[in-house]
Amino acid sequence: MMNAMNNDTHSKTIGYILWIFGFMGAHRFYYGRQITGILWFFTLGLLGIGWIIDLFLIPSLDRSADRRYAAGRYDYSAAWILLVFLGPLGIHRFYQGKILTGILYLLTGGLLGVGWLYDLLTLNGQVDELNRQFN
């Protein structure tokens, strides 16, 4: 088993870049905090207060994600970048080896956005499952 020091699954740099859009919860989704990500999305980062506080919480959110999710063949940051920028095209699904759903997303615009939203909530778990399967 990999020790926690070598299990760097998420990036602080990506976390800080997403924090810029943090009032929409992007960094919270990235670190696997879906419930607070949704809360940040609908309250604009708790009216900006939570967003500012999160500037200082990024290192602990990163450590927590590193402990929670398994490192392996698939890179979380790469999967998230593909999801955020090319999600409706299903490129993140192709990256994970999910060719059939990748084609389905490509032909339907991420199942008209619903599949893309589903993946926004579950991507860390999907990558974690694949990494544990191939370790």
pLDDT tens sequence across 117-132 = 999 999 999 999 999 9
Q: Which residues contact 90 (CB under 8 A, 6 or more apart)?
A: 101, 102, 103, 104, 105, 106, 110
Tell me how far apart the alpha carbons of residues 22 and 16 are, in angstroms, rounded to a whole number: 9
CB contact at 8 A, 92 and 86 = yes
Q: Where are the alpha helices (DSSP H) in the chain?
A: 12-19, 26-30, 34-47, 49-68, 76-86, 91-95, 99-112, 114-133
Tell me how far apart the alpha carbons of residues 66 and 30 are, in angstroms, rounded to a whole number: 12
Q: Are residues 20 and 43 in the same domain?
A: yes
Give residue 54's domain range: 10-68
- Domain boundary pick from 27, 43, 68: 68
- Domain boundary pick from 22, 39, 68: 68
pLDDT band at 134 (very low <50, low <70, confident <90, very high): confident
Q: Residue 125: inside a domain, yes or no?
A: yes
Q: Are residues 63 and 82 in the same domain?
A: no
Q: 13 vs 1, which has greater pLDDT?
A: 13
The model carries a pTM of: 0.89
**DSSP, res 10:** S
What total of structural domains would you count in the chain?
A: 2
- Domain boundary pick from 68, 88, 116: 68
| Residue 4 confidence (pLDDT) | 43
